[in-house]
Amino acid sequence: MPSTDRIRDHAGQGATTVAARARRRLRADQARQLADLLRHQILSGGFDSGTLPHESVLATDYRASRNTVRQALDLLRAEGLVARHPGVGTVVVGQKYPHGLDRLMGLAETLHEHGTVTNEVRTMGPAPAPHPVAQRLKVAPGTDVLYIERLRRLNGLPLSLDLTYIPLDIGTALLGADLENTDVFRLLETITGQGLGHAEITLEAVNADAHSAAVLEAPRGAAVLMLERLTHLADGRPVDLEFIRFRGDRITMSGQLRRSL
């Protein structure tokens, strides 16, 4: 029941044009609606075989027209989730991996069921803390902190680009550590001899700039899930400020929220 009544007949425009516009809008709305349902099925492994049912089956199952089904599949193809293979049909190509949002976890930790995380350390070394970094890590502005830049891969595929700031008294011990194969979280717990406590996080969706896109091997302008995270040790001390760009087509973040705290 679309609100086609919102589409008015303007002077100089025939009723046919208006009706055509209303039909296009209705189909686009229905295609989005169907695409969202199919996306959920794809991400939750609802198409075990890796192949989606034929368009006519989807049309029946979802009570949609063939045109709407085609348009919905076009949307998912544009997102890189499915591809059309001649003679085979529509197949699932883009796997997204679920990053837990309920507990503070490192990448290798949260994705351990899905494969091996490796880290390419692009930059690492002490650098004077800019004012906002110093403030958040509670060190004096201009004090050296350890700066690390890592490209993180799951089973070889680029997943995220992480920029990390760590106070130097703790950071120094990281310089000789196996950062290629170990989460910083785990190393921080080993170095400090205490668990991590909590983290303040902020999530955003941004379009990748050309350089970040190139590093992540994603198209320019690709949607990126950006996570800013300030992690504290169990004793409350802030130890790890990160700016993480996840490839939007490879990561989802899932968790549970409660109405009352």
Binders of its own copies among residues 42 to 61 (CB under 8 A) are: 43, 46, 61
Q: Nearest approach, Cβ of 87 to its own copies (angstroms)?
A: 27
Site for its own copies (CB under 8 A): which residue of 13, 128, 138, 180? Answer: 128
Q: Could you give the dihedral angle defined by the CA atoms of residues 190, 191, 192 and 198, in that order, rounded to the nearest 10 degrees?
A: -60
Nearest CB to its own copies, comparing residues 62 and 158? 62
The interface with its own copies within residues 217-246 (CB under 8 A) comprises: 221-226, 228, 234, 243, 246
If you search the block for the tokens 């169907």, which residue do you land on? 34
Site for its own copies (CB under 8 A): which residue of 68, 90, 110, 212? Answer: 212
Site for its own copies (CB under 8 A): which residue of 11, 15, 140, 205? Answer: 205
Q: Nearest approach, Cβ of 115 to its own copies (angstroms)?
A: 20
Q: Nearest approach, Cβ of 16 to its own copies (angstroms)?
A: 21
Whole-angstrom Cα Rg for the chain = 24
Please work out the total of residues on this chain that contact its own copies, with binding judged by CB under 8 A. 82
Q: CA geometry: angle at 77 spanning 73 and 79, to 5°?
A: 120
Count other C-beta atoms under 10 Å from residue 249's C-beta: 19
Site for its own copies (CB under 8 A): which residue of 53, 94, 98, 158? Answer: 98
- Cα 75 to Cα 33: distance, rounded to the nearest angstrom: 11
Q: Does 256 bind its own copies (CB under 8 A)?
A: yes
How many residues make up the chain in this entry? 261
For helices 66-78 and 15-43, the axis angle rounded to 10 degrees is: 60
Which one, of 62, 72, 84, 80, lies nearest residue 27 by Cα? Answer: 72
Nearest CB to its own copies, comparing residues 93 and 223? 223
Site for its own copies (CB under 8 A): which residue of 157, 163, 173, 177? Answer: 163
